[in-house]
Amino acid sequence: MNEARKTLLFSVILAVVLFVSALVTSHVTRNLLDEDISGDLLLANCFYEEKTLLPDDWFFGNEYRIYSQLICSPFFGMFSDWGTVRFSGTLVIQMLYLLSFVFMMRSASVKSSTILFGCVLLMIPYCVAYGRIVLYHCYYTPYITFSFLILGFIFRFGGNHAAEERKSSGIAKWILLAVCCVLSSISGIREIYIFLGPLCALVFWQLVVKKKKDFLFPAFFCLAMGGVGWIINHFFILKAVNFGVENASKIEYLGLSKVYMTIFAIFRQFGYRSGVDRGSFLGIMSLAGIIVSGYVLILSGKALITETDSVRQVLKGFLLLQLAINFVTFLFYEPPHSSRYDYSRYLLPSSVWVVPLLCCMAEEKKTRLRHWVYIVMCAVFIGNGLMNAAFFRDPDCFTQDYDGLTYNATDTVETYSKAMDFLQKNGYDLGYAVNDANVMIEKMNGLPVVSLDKTVDGGLIYRNLLTRKSFREISGHKPFFIGFQNEAASFRALPCSEGSEPVFSDDNVYIYELKDQAAFKEYLDLHSN
């Protein structure tokens, strides 16, 4: 098939994939929410109202993440429905993600049909954590987008386009590259760790092993500019922002159990699932994911040693290099609040480099055996992605875990649906909640809900994390408290709850109408300091 027909074919396939992806995105953005992701939308609303990047009316979490929130923010001026705001912002973030990939691959002189094939792969949730955290909740999408953009510039300055770019670029494009690097790291060290640092390691590898320095200056220029972004974050932003969570972590050898956990976290990136019936179709595809992961890592390692083209070596070798760096890191570094779900999450910015690798492989001449191996590998990759897409649309289709976050429930919104219907129908205008306050705020289109924590002795205090400060000063005409059975018991035990009666309960939650909000607020103010 000639290039024009391939381009047309993959254009049609991509259009279908984007349409299906939009349907899944619409469902996920309205039905799969958690406290953190709803907090991001609440921060976006804060940006829209305050028109500043350092809002006074916000308790940040444990890092200064703003990019997805900034993209969603303008949509609050267009739509009153928060679900529509999230859906619209997510689609824009996904399109920017794809465009950055196109820019990188065009800068690497990859064929148009192959780039379209790569876009198809990027829009398929090839593992559950990738779908949830990158495609639909957009936690890491901005970091990967910046990585693609920066590498695209580096390819133009030091790769196949180098001579052409040096004649036409002048200082303007170097300034643009510097701005991208600073912005990529202004929210913290993450971009330096997941991309700029490993990139410099790969370029150093090329210099030592291949005696090539095609990208030497651009790569270290980007690392320096990324350092400037980190300095701005560390010495200026951190002083202006109070974080609600301490990043408690430790550095020591963590033992063989972490080796086992990290290996299977790598397998999870390519479709492996634990706890499924090995004889089922899902189980067979899960085991096939392990084979795919081993094969692509071998290909990536081979590229680091034998690939002669510097650009292709970066595109193909970055996968193994990044996963190796993460593997070693996890043997000695215990992330805060770690669990088996977290390990899947931290590997996502590394595993996404499998897509450029598969694109490069598509353009290489192969023996008949390697050709069919490649087809089967792509079929497993895409097949797992399609099953995961169906899972996101309906979790009963393929029973499995939500990897990537400790929030692994599939029914958070459903848990509160009857309670939220009751609150909206009966005119309640201010809430207090121990769990999922931000989820209720989002689903009730901005109705203020004060976020609380339980103390060790069963009391209640304010939660200074991912919430608006001003909610605490609002006087509701019809305030309420909502919680599960344990939280409801804690509330009833407070002297200030006297006279507050339960007005709603179901199998999940209890709602109490506050008869004396002033007394409850006085209690919270006293015990939260």
Q: Please, is 360 exposed, middle or buried when counting C-beta atoms within 10 Å of its C-beta (0-12, 13-18, 19+)?
A: buried
pLDDT tens, residue by residue, 15-63: 999 999 999 999 999 999 999 999 999 999 999 999 998 898 999 987 8
Close Cβ partners of 104 (under 8 Å, ≥ 6 residues apart): 148, 149, 151, 152, 155, 356
Identify the pLDDT of residue 250. 61
Q: Which of 157-161, 218-222, 390-394, 456-460 is the least confident region?
A: 157-161
Please spell the DSSP secondary structure of 2-46, one letter per residue: -HHHHHHHHHHHHHHHHHHHHHHHHHHHHH---HHHHHHHHHHHH
Question: Tokens 């090995």 identify what position?
Answer: 278
- Asked if residue 123 lies in contact with residue 102, where contact means CB atoms within 8 angstroms, the answer is no
Question: What's the whole-number mean pLDDT along residues 322-337?
Answer: 80
- Asked if residue 42 lies in contact with residue 151, where contact means CB atoms within 8 angstroms, the answer is no
Please state whether the predicted TM-score (pTM) of the whole model is above 0.75.
yes
**Quick one: pLDDT band at residue 457, thresholds 50, 70, 90?**
confident
Q: For residues 321-354, b (16+ Cβ closer than 10 Å) or e, as one string? A: bbbbbbbeebeebebeebeebbbbbbbbbbbbbb
Q: Which of 48-52, 397-401, 438-442, 503-507 is the least confident region?
A: 397-401
Give the sign of the dihedral formed by CA 491, CA 496, CA 498, CA 504.
negative
Is the per-residue pLDDT at 169 higher than 60?
Answer: no
Is the per-residue pLDDT at 337 higher than 70?
Answer: no
Identify the pLDDT of residue 296. 95
Torsion of CA 461, 465, 468, 473, to 10 degrees: 20
Is the per-residue pLDDT at 243 higher than 80?
Answer: no
**Quick one: pLDDT band at residue 241, thresholds 50, 70, 90?**
confident
pLDDT tens, residue by residue, 274-308: 888 888 898 999 999 999 999 999 999 999 999 99
Share of the chain above pLDDT 70, in %: 93
Amino acid sitting at position 133? I
- Asked if residue 6 lies in contact with residue 118, where contact means CB atoms within 8 angstroms, the answer is no
Smallest Cα–Cα separation from 488: which of 480, 440, 478?
480
Is the per-residue pLDDT at 84 higher than 90?
Answer: yes
User: Kind and range of the H or E element at 183?
Assistant: helix 172-185
Q: Give 61 or 190, the one with higher predicted confidence.
A: 190
Identify the pLDDT of residue 490. 93
Q: Give 342 or 430, the one with higher predicted confidence.
A: 430
Question: What's the whole-number mean pLDDT along residues 258-285?
Answer: 87
Is the per-residue pLDDT at 65 higher than 90?
Answer: no
Is the per-residue pLDDT at 154 higher than 80?
Answer: yes
Q: Please, is 13 exposed, middle or buried when counting C-beta atoms within 10 Å of its C-beta (0-12, 13-18, 19+)?
A: middle
Range list of H helices, 307-351: 310-332, 340-346, 348-351
Range list of H helices, 333-402: 340-346, 348-351, 354-362, 368-393
Q: Give 213 or 178, the one with higher predicted confidence.
A: 178
Is the per-residue pLDDT at 248 higher than 70?
Answer: no
pLDDT tens, residue by residue, 380-428: 999 999 999 999 998 888 888 887 777 777 778 999 999 999 999 999 9
Close Cβ partners of 160 (under 8 Å, ≥ 6 residues apart): 108, 109, 311
d(CA 46, CA 52): 9
Question: Tokens 């928060």 identify what position?
Answer: 82
pLDDT tens, residue by residue, 97-141: 999 999 999 999 999 999 999 999 999 999 999 999 999 999 999
Identify the pLDDT of residue 260. 81
d(CA 277, CA 470): 49
Q: Which two structure tokens, joined as six digits, stand for 45?
A: 């609303």
Query: Highest-confidence range of 331-335, 360-364, 443-447, by mean pLDDT?
Result: 443-447
Identify the pLDDT of residue 411. 77
Question: What's the whole-number mean pLDDT along residues 340-365?
Answer: 87
- Asked if residue 474 lies in contact with residue 430, where contact means CB atoms within 8 angstroms, the answer is yes
Question: What's the whole-number mean pLDDT along residues 340-347?
Answer: 71
Question: What's the whole-number mean pLDDT along residues 344-352?
Answer: 89
d(CA 394, CA 27): 9
Identify the pLDDT of residue 339. 58
Is the per-residue pLDDT at 161 higher than 70?
Answer: no
Q: What is the mean pLDDT of the chain?
A: 90
Is the per-residue pLDDT at 338 higher than 60?
Answer: no
Instruction: Identify the three-state secondary structure at position 505.
Output: strand
Identify the pLDDT of residue 72. 97
Torsion of CA 181, 182, 184, 187, to 10 degrees: 160
Identify the pLDDT of residue 240. 82
Instruction: Identify the three-state secondary structure at position 53.
Output: coil
